[in-house]
Amino acid sequence: MFVMNYADVTKNAESLFNILEKSGEAFIDRADGKRFKITMQEQKKSPFAHIKPVLPSIPLDEVIDIIHESRSSGAASCSLARECYENSFAT
CATH number of domain containing 11: 3.40.1620
Per-residue pLDDT of 1-11, as tens digits, reads 667 777 777 78
3-state secondary structure of 26: strand
Same domain for 90 and 61: yes
Tell me whether residue 47 is in a domain: no
Query: What are the backbone dihedrals phi and psi of residue 46, each rounded to the nearest 5 degrees, phi first?
Result: -65, 140
**Are both 8 and 35 inside the same structural domain?**
yes
* Domain contains 44: no
Domain membership flag for residue 46 = no
Residues 6+ away with beta carbon under 8 Å from 27: 1, 2, 3, 4, 35, 36, 37, 38
Residue 7 belongs to some domain of the structure:
yes
Residues whose CB falls within 8 Å of the CB of residue 1, separated by 6 or more in sequence, listed in order:
25, 27
Structural domain count of the chain: 2
Of 16, 64, 61, give the one whose Cα is nearest residue 40: 16
Which domain does 80 fall in, by range?
Answer: 52-91
Alpha carbon distances (Å) from 11 to 4, 7, 41: 11, 6, 22
The answer to whether residues 90 and 58 belong to one domain is yes
Per the domain annotation, does 19 fall within a domain?
yes
Residue 84 lies in a domain: yes
- pTM to 2 decimal places: 0.40
Residues 10-55 have pLDDT tens digits of 787 888 888 888 888 888 888 899 998 988 887 788 888 888 877 7
60 and 83: one domain? Answer: yes
